[in-house]
Amino acid sequence: MGKATLEIFDEKQAQTVDDIEVGKRVSGKIRLALQVPDLQTAMDRLVSHGAKMVHPPVDTSWGDKNVRFEDPDGIQVTLFQKPEGR
């Protein structure tokens, strides 16, 4: 899928990221973030394997495009694509 990012957040930072990506606090204690080279291809792949989109893609204030999914086991996964040239 791409590069993985280990993000360790306190409750306040988790709330901030959820607000940016989803608009409200939704993730559990563990959420994965994966950098992908082609967001649409990665989204299609997750859906074809049973993941449910939690929120459509958003453009973040730091320039990435992020989308949130939940896998069949309830783990939330953020896919992100950096802008061209970054």
Q: Which domain holds residue 28?
A: 3-81
Mean pLDDT score across all residues of the chain = 89
**Token representation of residue 22:** 């989803």
Residue 47 counted as domain residue: yes
Say if 86 falls within a structural domain.
no
- Residues 30-71 pLDDT 10s: 888 889 999 999 999 999 999 999 999 999 999 999 999 998
Q: Which two tokens stand for residue 28?
A: 């559990």
Any domain includes 28: yes
CATH number at residue 42: 3.10.180.10
CB-facing half-sphere around the CA of 17: CA atoms within 13 A: 24
**Full-model pTM:** 0.78
The alpha-carbon radius of gyration of the chain (Å, integer) is 12
> How many separate domains does the chain show?
1
Residue 64 lies in a domain: yes
